[in-house]
Amino acid sequence: MLRGLIFDVDETLVYYKGYDHREWYERWVLPELRKHGIDLDYETYRKTVTGELPRSYVERFGIDHIEFWKLVDDVNLSYRKWMAELGRIKAFPDVSALGELRKLGLKLAAVSNASQECTEFVLDLFSLRDYFDVVYGKDYSNLDGVKPNPYLVEKALKALNLGSDEALMVGDSAHDVLAGKGAGLRTVNVTRFGKVDGADYYVRDLWELVGIVKKMLGIHSP
């Protein structure tokens, strides 16, 4: 029986107009790192984010890896505040479907590879946090536990007191599908930016997700 849903945040609920990962890193993050004597090229940084290298890899540059990621996340929060001031952070118009899912009595969680502060900032920007029972950003006690690792999804399941057969993982990326599958969940790919392999369901938007959920619950829409 379906009792809950776990959502990704960035590019699933909100998006960043004009965002480019490399430009963000080289314009915002790298100058701050250089103040601390760290000159980390983009490709190496990217590999630590995708999991090709462990996040502790940066310790070879003479900085504690937890401090390194807190530094990056502080820069990211400043960047998000700047983007918000410019009106370049947008909520997808279908996020109102979250309210319909709540009306169905479902528990909802949000999990993100961004920091807790960055995640809560964008959810608060559009008054979305109230839809969620729990919100989890990256956990500094387990930095390699970000998606596609199932750690954050499992953490949300435990907080919601749900079994893996009682929830769906909803996101836009392959990392979301892999994290959901790794935790034993059925997965939903929101195809805003194209389909990714391996999902159990594909929806164009969150209202289409509501339709699937109602069918699972045996609710027939007029």
Q: Which residues contact 12 (CB under 8 A, 6 or more apart)?
A: 92, 170, 171, 172, 176, 190, 192
Confidence check: pLDDT of 221 > 80: no
222 found inside a domain: no
Q: 131-159: per-residue pLDDT in tens?
A: 999 999 999 999 999 999 999 999 999 99
User: Alpha-carbon dihedral of residues 139, 140, 141, 144, nearest 10 degrees?
Assistant: 70
Residue 205, both tokens:
């938007």
Q: Which residue has the higher pLDDT, 220 or 189?
A: 189
221 found inside a domain: no
| Residue 11's CATH number | 3.40.50.1000
Q: How confident is the model at residue 47, as a pLDDT?
A: 95
Number of domains in the chain: 2
122 with 190, same domain? yes
143 with 115, same domain? yes
Q: 38-81: per-residue pLDDT in tens?
A: 999 999 999 999 889 999 999 999 999 999 999 999 999 999 99
The whole-chain average pLDDT of the chain stands at 96
160 with 180, same domain? yes
What residue numbers bound the domain in which 152 lies?
Answer: 4-15+90-216
Cα 209 versus chain centre, distance:
18
Tokens 């004009």 sit on residue: 18
Confidence check: pLDDT of 86 > 90: yes
Q: How confident is the model at residue 220, as a pLDDT?
A: 80
